[in-house]
Structure 1
Amino acid sequence: MIYAYAKLTVTNPEALAAYREQAGPALARHGGKVEQGSAEALVLDGAPDLPDVAAILSFPDRASAEGWINDPDLADVHALRRSAGASDIVLLG
Structure 2
Amino acid sequence: MIYAYAKLTVKNPDALAAYREKAGDALARHGGRVETASAEPTALDGAPDLPDVAALLSFPDRESALGWINDPALSDVHALRRNIGSSDIILLG
Corresponding residue for residue 71 of structure 1: 71
Deviation at 1:26, TM superposition (A): 0.1
1:52 is displaced (CA, Å) by 0.2
Letter in 1 for 2:51: P
Q: How does 1:1-93 map onto structure 2 within 5 Å?
A: 1-93=1-93
| TM-score normalised by structure 2 residue count | 0.99
Structure 1: gaps (5+ residues) = none
Whole-angstrom CA distance in 2 between matches of 1:85 and 1:49 = 15
Q: State the Cα distance separating 1:47 from its structure 2 match.
A: 0.5
Q: CA deviation at 1:69?
A: 0.1
Residue identity opposite 2:85 in structure 1: G
Deviation at 1:14, TM superposition (A): 0.2
Question: Percent identity at matched positions?
Answer: 80
1:7 Cα deviation after fit: 0.4
CA RMSD, Structure 1 to Structure 2 (Å): 0.3
Q: Secondary structure at the match of 1:19?
A: helix
Deviation at 1:5, TM superposition (A): 0.2
Aligned residues: 93
Runs of 4+ in 1 over 6 A off after TM superposition: none
* TM-score in terms of structure 1 length: 0.99
